[in-house]
Amino acid sequence: MIKNKEITPLEHSRVKLSLTIEKEAAAREYAGILGEYSKKIQLPGFRKGKVPSAVLERKFGDSLRAETIQKIIEGSLKSAFEEIAEKPLPYAVPELQDDYKLSLDEDFTFVVAYDIFPKLELGPYTGLSVERPSIKITGDDLKRELDAIVAQNSFVVEKDGAAEKDNMAVINCWELDGEGTEIPHTRKTDLPLTVGAGNDLYGIDDELAGMKKGETKNITKTYPPDYRDSELAGKTKRFAVELTALRENKKPELDDELAQDVSESYKTLDDLKADIEKRLQKTAEQKARSMTIDALMNQVLESTPIDLPESMICAEMDRMWRQFIGRFRDGEQIIAGLLAKQGKSKEEIFETYRPNAEKTLKIQLCIQKMIENEKIEVSEEELDNFFLEDAGSLSMTSEEMKTYYEKNGLTDMVRQDLKEKKLFDLVFDKNTLTTGREMSLTDGLEGGTAT
């Protein structure tokens, strides 16, 4: 069927594929479609299945040829992709480069363009000098963890007296005109907010400090031109605010009793602190490793040019977007609407993703190439050991954990993670790791970047 095929490389890991179909094969395809129509179509003056081909061609010739072209293109592309190495990416639909007409007197040629998996010549990833940061556990790190435990075990109580920062308030609110009269249809009731948090719609939570339950206060607020709510931006509003409820968090004492409340395995506060320090040390080691990997891969990328296809970048940016909206309960349309109120479009958000998306993809491609070069494999025994270890931390059996991962389609991800761990254990031994700058775990978590 295919008489000739020609592949032309384009920029950004894209190719142009030209296929020529023998005129005899195209004629047979056309005759087949014509025959199918002649069997089932019925026209005035002819019995069903007895319409002459010449009549069908005069009446439906253009449509028949268009259907033939579509069938030829689909069939020949499927056949070609089974033979050639330059296959399209799963999310890259081949694009026809022109409008084509079928002539039964000559071969039929058409051209499609599509994105392919990028080729790369991997730069050196051994024999390099790589800094490994020295991450220390400080008193501030321990305090942050203890403060979080205290906050998690706090309880809410009604508060008497004046509102203070971080108190939880409930208000009724309405707009006032120049005479101080309530503007109809502007009253909002039972609005919850946190004093001093700065995240309420009208930006008036700071004004509640000092108010007592049952009090009403008039507030005048001028909003900057770039205010997050476009309906308020650049305007001056007057509000009346009634404080209807006030609550506060009561924090427990940081003592042996709190430690016992956290877990029955702790007898004293020192037991809790020791366990936190152990967990923090593990986190510090993991962070130092990820930062070392990042430093190594930055060097690899410098010597490994990769021409990413646009469809691959778009797919990664879409993944990042899905991850972003997944943090919220509201649907994508609502999130997009909220961003629009702030003057941001989904397309603009995607462009902010682009640099990270490109770097992430390049690192993934290099790592996969390194895994292939080093012939890294993960045995079933190593996989089972992972399930056994993970199950122990969640009070599950290894079989239950294995079933959970398989049921949720996560087994391949685990296998890939284990391959990467083995890869960098091997690669670190083939590079010189120097001691980098010293930092606290807090600084490492805030400033470090992991692959």
Read off the pLDDT of each residue in 20-44 and give the average, rounded to a whole number.
Answer: 83
Contact between 425 and 374 under an 8 Å Cβ cutoff? The reply is: no
Pairwise CA distance, residues 146 & 130, whole Å: 34
Read off the pLDDT of each residue in 41-62 and give the average, rounded to a whole number.
Answer: 72
Report CA torsion sign: 386, 392, 396, 398: positive
Read off the pLDDT of each residue in 37-63 and give the average, rounded to a whole number.
Answer: 73
Read off the pLDDT of each residue in 90-99 and give the average, rounded to a whole number.
Answer: 90
Residue 257 confidence (pLDDT): 94
**Which position has the token pair 């089932």?**
40
Task: Please state which of the ranges 49-53, 121-125, 384-388 shows the lowest mean pLDDT.
Answer: 49-53
Answer whether residue 225 shows pLDDT above 70: yes
Answer whether residue 450 shows pLDDT above 70: no
User: pLDDT, tens digit, for every residue of 180-207?
Assistant: 999 999 999 999 999 998 888 889 999 9
Of residues 44 and 174, more confidence is placed in 174
Answer whether residue 150 shows pLDDT above 70: yes
Residue 19 confidence (pLDDT): 95
Pairwise CA distance, residues 130 & 119, whole Å: 26
Answer whether residue 451 shows pLDDT above 50: no
Q: What does pTM read for this prediction?
A: 0.73
Answer whether residue 448 shows pLDDT above 80: no
Of residues 57 and 197, more confidence is placed in 197
Read off the pLDDT of each residue in 230-247 and give the average, rounded to a whole number.
Answer: 93
Longest Cα pair distance anywhere in the chain, in angstroms? 99
The whole-chain average pLDDT of the chain stands at 90
Closest CA to 310 of 52, 14, 76, 5: 14
User: pLDDT, tens digit, for every residue of 2-14?
Assistant: 889 999 999 999 9
| pLDDT band of 42, cuts 50, 70, 90 | low
Task: Please state which of the ranges 219-233, 282-296, 306-320 shows the lowest mean pLDDT.
Answer: 219-233
| pLDDT band of 449, cuts 50, 70, 90 | very low
Domain annotation for the chain: domains and CATH numbers: 2-115 (3.30.70.1050), 129-143+267-305+351-447 (1.10.3120), 155-250 (3.10.50.40)
HEC sequence for the chain: CEEEEEEEEECCCEEEEEEEECHHHHHHHHHHHHHHHHHHCCCCCCCCCCCCHHHHHHHHHHHHHHHHHHHHHHHHHHHHHHHCCCCECCCCCCEECCCCCCCCCCCEEEEEEEEECCCCCCCCCCCCEEEEEEEECCHHHHHHHHHHHHHHCCEEEECCCCCCCCCEEEEEEEEECCCCCECCCCCEEEEEEECCCCCCCCCCHHHHCCCCCCCEEEEEEECCCCCCCCCCCCCEEEEEEEEEEEEEEECCCCCHHHHHHHCCCCCCHHHHHHHHHHHHHHHHHHHHHHHHHHHHHHHHHHCCCCCCCHHHHHHHHHHHHHHHHCCCCCCHHHHHHHHHHCCCCHHHHHHHHHHHHHHHHHHHHHHHHHHHHCCCCCCHHHHHHHHHHHHHHCCCCHHHHHHHHHHCCCHHHHHHHHHHHHHHHHHHCCCEEEEEEEEEHHHHHHHCCCC
